[in-house]
Structure 1
Amino acid sequence: MEAVEGEKKGGVVLQGRYEIGRVLGRGNFGRVHVARDLRTGKSVAMKVVTKEKVVRAGMVEQIMREIGVMKRVSHPNIVELHEVMATRTKIYLALELVRGGELFGRIVRLGRVREDVARHYFRQLISAVDFCHSRGVYHRDLKPENLLLDEAGNLKVVDFGLSALADHARADGLLHTLCGTPGYTAPEVLRDKGYDGAKADLWSCGVILYVLLAGSLPFADDNIVTMYRKVQRGDYRCPTWLSTDARRLIPRLLDPNPSTRITVPQLVETPWFTKTSISKPISIEPPAADPAPAPACAAQEEGEKDEPETLNAFHLISLSEGFDLSPLFEGDSANGRREGGMLFATREPASGVISRLEAAAARGGGGMRVTKSGARGVRLEGSESRGTKGRLAVAADIFSVAPSVLVVDVKKDGGDTLEYRSFCSEQLRPALQDIVWAATDPPGTAAV
């Protein structure tokens, strides 16, 4: 194995950081090993991707997308990407090690599961999917084979290789790539006329719920054309042994019309989803040390304060100008650079940063509208188009890296690049110059 720097307890050592152990599985582009982090002693799953195989298969973009997406989705029910390393011939992804196997394997062994157990898994699946959607990430290949179980019986979503980001949508606001797994793919995806990624993911969640409760696919057929016709018509039957609440929920998830299909805010209020199970073989709460974020549909309590999201070290690396995934593949051009974006640290509280951004929006008589963007930033949008690509829009995300230090990530979110650069130089930088702080400066010293 390349990049071995020595031997330790009979195993090879990768770049002095990880002791590589036995093979857990094999894929088209490499292997997955058990590995031990020599710095912490904890075990991880080390995915080893061979660059030559990826390039030959034309899958460079898919691997880069998977890495990029996993950097932005940190959730108790999503497998965590700890670290990415690369050598001349390989890419190494250090992932959270999940020891319980695939949910698919449990279904194969046991057949259908009790409704309280299915509810436990389904709640965690919806929590993870809703979090992804709030970050503009659509999985597009949700199925039991891509759902792992940890030792405590908690579900973990994996394999973001077919995922898409909100900015991948075309001018019509829809995604158009035909992808997914037969039997789990939404009918609007199969029509190839554009689809909403969030609604397509919810269809897949509905199929997964059906499989959990019935032990079989709702649209199963040996002839794939016949199966697709069933999908388009919503032609399936709910088993009679399902509870009334389950038989009412499944048709709302497996609605062939995406415009009337149930949404996450509606789903989490349904009687089946909210029911408290009498028997609790598995805790339905995430670990106390790593709580799941509230669903995007949850209303904020009156008087509750918005707190900036906390960044870990991997997030900081991913935000830096130098973290461009294209160098992972030799010969690829660095095409992921920011278009004049700003990334800076500040000791100013979040409310002060937002006030400065509002002041920047008001400068120059541009009449930019300021709106809240989640609990961690704001969005500035022009009232009229001055460039060739529509209204200028600027997104500013605010993250906490220490009790008194914030990182602000400002980037173009729409409109013309030249107009954006002019706005940054003439309005944004003057409004922010006295709160930008560099780690090398003494406390209280501003860096322009």
Structure 2
Amino acid sequence: MKVPTLRDLSKVDSLHFAFTGAYDPRNGLENELAPFLDALEQCAGGWMPSIVKTSRKRKYSREAVWRALEERRADYGTIIGLFRSENPSLSLVLHLVPMDEQASLSIDLSIQPLSFFSKVEVSRSFIDAARAWASRYPSDYASAHSLADLGLTASPSFGRDDATWKRDGFDKIYELSWLNIFGPKLVESVGRERMLSTPAHLVEELPNGSILLVLWPTAAEFASEEARVVQARAHVHLRPDLDFDAVLRTLRERSAALVPVEPRFHPDVAPFLSRLPDEFAISERQRKIAELNAFRPPVPEEWLPVAHPSDVANPERVLESYGDLSEGLVAALHTKVPSIMDETAESLTDLDFYFWQENFPERYTRELIDSHTAPALGVYLGEVLVRRLGGTWVLRQKVEESQVRVGKRVWLPFLRARRYMQSRQSLLDYSLTQFFNEAERYRP
């Protein structure tokens, strides 16, 4: 049983549902949670979880849920995870806070891919689950929407400072999601009749006084022009102080920001750059791909047309010291970058990605980098040129002047490594991947 990781769940857009409602622990945990599980089992269909996880994993069943809750029960609350690794994948974190007067049940649910909800009947089943939960566990506000689009809304603060938004919560309608549940307090602040007359796909009053509002029949089509117009009209209807044209313009900009951008990276750095987009929030990913498409690394200048002759008396001893430096780098990084043992072009790309991901030049001290990391990396880079491109060392007493001859050019790996380790941007400008590809062109 494989539990999807956060990385797995960020590959493409998801439907994200955030819900916090009230429950009464005095009635017994099983009695209070039974309606939650009833709705899940009756409505989930293709997105039904298959795994219950705490410190161990179990196949989903009611009994597995009760055992997991018992294992994780604590004074501060109980947290368990329900997961599904098959397509569509699912992560559902259930958090129970057993405070006497403010006991709460929170659901943090992500279902990937969002395209799974392109059919009306599938979206309707999700609406049915949300309706059942909101009817049973009174909530101030809850929503289900594209995770990528949410990332463009500044949710949950919506531009407020931390203290303010944590105090006030969703005290007015800052944004509308595909599915919205408005608690009685928010309904009364807007006006019940006004809210019930919202121009949307579904507006329904729930038994506890909450209102369920769904903008469009399918969750997956939230960014279409027609759905955005409905979203803008509904928002302005609920917030007459807003300007329709301004709201619609913002929504269209968000839709444009989410349009897929085809990667067209510079070929010399494509193996490296292709790994970077997934490191950004899904809301930023297409913009980052466009930026990386436009990126053109400087042409490598760390080479000479003619070698400076070697000025070392004992080449074997120098190479031995180089070996010690390289082995130290391998020893330090082999668990994080396993391919470093191979000394290949792919190893250099793996190192590029590791150093960028770690923001290594800006996280570690300059003394460590200049005295240890950069020299060791220069040796390693030179050794890859020797082993994979048939290069030969031309050794110098000043380490940074040592060279590797490949064909008609003489390369300066220590200089490249020093420039490379200056900043996070320099990892792109002076990547090991590009340096190797440039040198390879001169291989005899």
TM-score grouping bracket, smaller chain normalisation: under 0.3
Q: Relative to total residues, which structure has the larger helix share, 1 or 2?
A: 2
Which structure ranks higher in relative contact order (CA pairs < 8 Å, sequence separation ≥ 6)? 2
Question: Which structure is larger by alpha-carbon Rg, 1 or 2?
Answer: 2
Q: Relative to total residues, which structure has the larger strand share, 1 or 2?
A: 1
Return the TM-score normalized by structure 1. Answer: 0.22
